[in-house]
Copies of this chain bind each other. A is one copy, B any other.
Amino acid sequence: MDGGEEALSAADEVARSLRVEIVAGRIPPGSALRQDELATQFGTSRIPVREALKALQAEGLVSYSVNRGAVVTEVSPAEVLDMLEVRIALETHALKLAILRMVPEDVAEARSILSDYDNAGAPEEWSDMNATFHEVLCAPCECERLMLLIRENYLHVNRYARISVSGIVGKDQPQKEHWRLLDLCEKGNVVAAVKLLEQHIRSTQKTLRANIRRKAAGR
């Protein structure tokens, strides 16, 4: 048996492809997803396309109206703020557990990511690196369910914030906090680490909130 060959249905293929496009923002929120169009595009009939759309609906990526088809869901700024609240809940708890189980190798891995981060160029990469760092830091919690939700959370937040946040928060301040956070983890200072992590996420939240205000006023 070979490594990872998995037979996947056309519907799964379509769903996977669309998911990537939507999360990447290449299919912008509000776009109508025409079944016929997608079907010809993927070289299938509409049946697998419809199944894919249903799956994406369950994932919250598209919204479905009967007889009017699927539309890429709009993510409101308020919802993103909520999502960041969820992130605080998930990550602080995961971190609490993770620190107790963290071994030097985990710290080393996180450190290496931060180093790459230091030398990183394009802002588009920042959000990926950020996600990776937070994931590595939380991973030792050994709670697969928590990690799943954390990953999902990043996906959804990034969908909105890919430009809005990363480009505005900047890199230096978050990065400083990352190093400090890693330090606290290494020292096993759970309380301080959790506190810093919450502040860290809250600062993203604050920036976003300010950004929303500015947009509301400016336009």
Contacts and interface: CB of A to CB of B under 8 A. Distances in A.
A7 B64 CA distance: 12
Q: What is the copy number of this chain in the assembly?
A: 2
Interface of A: 7-9, 11-12, 47, 50-52, 54-59, 66-67, 79, 82-83, 85-86, 88-90, 92-94, 97, 143-146, 149
A66 B5 CA distance: 13
Given A9-B66, A66-B8, A66-B9, A89 B146 contact: yes
B82 A143 contact: yes
Among all A-B residue pairs, the 10 with the closest Cβ atoms: A89-B93, A58-B58, A82-B145, A55-B58, A51-B54, A54-B55, A85-B143, A54-B54, A7-B66, A82-B143
Contacts of A144: 79, 82
A33 B87 CA distance: 35
A93 B97 contact: no
A30 B90 CA distance: 30
Contacts of A8: 66
